[in-house]
């Protein structure tokens, strides 16, 4: 049986940037989950602990990258996979869930939901830190989540319907805030559109998984588009990503980690289409402590959807 390295770390980018690319030697395993664990998205706490949503295990896990330990934070109802996660206030997060048919890459209609996860109230072995915000019955397949400046308000990427929704976690109200054909996948083999979403310098950056796009659009404080959408770069199957203050994106996808400069130049930093080092790379987030500020953490699904050299 093949071993799946399901949670991977890139070492310091000061080191990586001094070496030729791609450079798999800069990759180290932080935590390995059991086989069939699909890690979809990451959120790094101020403590340095990494919250990992799991699509296949209907849960949020917490990994300590320094002690190399793992804890279960919450289990959702069976079949309700955990997808996007974003911090809305100090150690309080919004998590979205959905029943997903992996055979068709589609969400079960009416099954999406959003939850508040309050890590200030969390204790090991209890699920009382999680509260339902709203059943997102109109959302197709929620994935990436990003906080706006307004307290408790987030944008949610709907990969199934190709929309961006705005959710107020204080009231449970949600509405479509950006609608454009560029968010919809035109790829019959990968019917997943807008996926990862992050904001820097009043721009909403996004990936379209099926159409191989990293794009951006200027937004106002309410999350509405204020200009035309721009295509920043094209690369194979871009999933979630991390952004620096200057708009450089580190994009996970297609078993690779891409760096996309603000100019649109794309470099492969690690992995490869037929490389198992980052097999099934789904997400990326920077460390937040003094000890890992130059580290990029990458979650993977271990090739559960598209294995490398499947047997």
pLDDT tens readout for residues 248-258: 999 999 999 99
Buried b (16+ CB within 10 A) or exposed e, 189-205: ebbbbbbbbbbeeebbb
Residues 6+ apart with CB under 8 A from 48: 64, 65, 66, 287, 288, 289, 291, 292
Task: State residue 102's pLDDT score.
Answer: 84
pTM, to two decimals: 0.93
DSSP state of 13: H
Q: Which of 3-17, 99-113, 144-158 has the lowest mean pLDDT?
A: 3-17
Q: What is the pLDDT of residue 195?
A: 98
Chain segment 1-46, per-residue pLDDT in tens: 233 433 433 332 333 454 556 777 778 889 999 888 999 999 999 9
Tell me the pLDDT tens digit for each residue of 55-99: 999 999 999 999 999 999 999 999 999 999 999 999 999 999 999
Average pLDDT over all residues of the chain: 91
Average pLDDT for 288-299: 91
> In the prediction, which pLDDT does 309 show?
67
Residue 221: CB atoms within 10 A of its CB come to 10
State residue 306's pLDDT score.
67
CATH architecture of 7-300: 6 Propeller (2.120)
Residue with more model confidence, 178 or 27: 178
Beta bridge partners of 219: 225
pLDDT at 22: 72
pLDDT on residue 19:
52
In the predicted structure, residue 310 carries a pLDDT above the cut 60: no
C-alpha span between 60 and 161 (Å, rounded): 25
How much is the average pLDDT of 166-191?
98
| Separation CA 285–CA 44 (nearest Å) | 7
Confidence grade of residue 232 (pLDDT, cut at 50, 70, 90): very high
pLDDT at site 258: 95
pLDDT for 228 beyond 50: yes
What 3-state DSSP class applies to 242?
strand
278 close to 51: Cβ distance less than 8 angstroms: no
Task: Output 273 or 221, whichever has higher pLDDT.
Answer: 221
Longest dimension (CA), the chain: 51
């Amino acid at each position: 049986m093949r071993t799946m390295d399901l949670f991977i770390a890139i070492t310091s980018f000061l080191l990586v940037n001094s070496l030729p690319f791609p450079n798999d030697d800069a990759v180290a395993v932080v935590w390995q989950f059991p086989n069939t664990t699909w890690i979809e998205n990451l959120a790094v706490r101020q403590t340095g602990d990494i919250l990992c949503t799991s699509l296949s295990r209907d849960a949020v896990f917490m990994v300590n990258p320094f002690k190399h330990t793992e804890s279960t934070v919450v289990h959702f109802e069976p079949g309700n996979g955990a997808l996007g996660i974003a911090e809305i206030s100090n150690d309080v997060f919004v998590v979205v869930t959905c029943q997903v048919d992996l055979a068709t890459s589609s969400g079960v209609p009416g099954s999406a939901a959003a939850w508040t996860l309050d890590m200030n109230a969390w204790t090991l072995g209890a699920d009382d830190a999680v509260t339902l915000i709203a059943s997102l019955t109109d959302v197709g397949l929620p994935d990436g989540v990003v906080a706006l400046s307004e307290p408790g308000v987030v944008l949610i990427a709907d990969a199934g319907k190709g929309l961006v929704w705005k959710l107020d976690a204080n009231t449970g109200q949600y509405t479509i805030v950006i609608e454009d054909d560029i968010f919809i996948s035109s790829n019959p083999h990968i019917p997943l559109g807008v996926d990862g979403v992050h904001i820097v310098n009043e721009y909403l950056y996004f990936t379209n998984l099926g159409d191989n796009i990293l794009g951006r659009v200027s937004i106002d404080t309410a999350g509405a588009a204020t200009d035309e959408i721009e295509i920043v770069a094209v690369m194979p199957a871009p999933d979630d990503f991390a952004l620096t203050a200057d708009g450089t994106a580190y994009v996970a996808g297609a078993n690779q980690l891409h760096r996309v400069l603000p100019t649109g130049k794309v470099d492969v930093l690690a992995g490869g289409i037929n490389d198992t080092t980052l097999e099934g790379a789904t997400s990326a987030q920077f460390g937040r402590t003094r000890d890992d500020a130059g580290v990029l953490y990458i979650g993977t699904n271990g090739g559960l959807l598209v294995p490398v050299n499947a047997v």
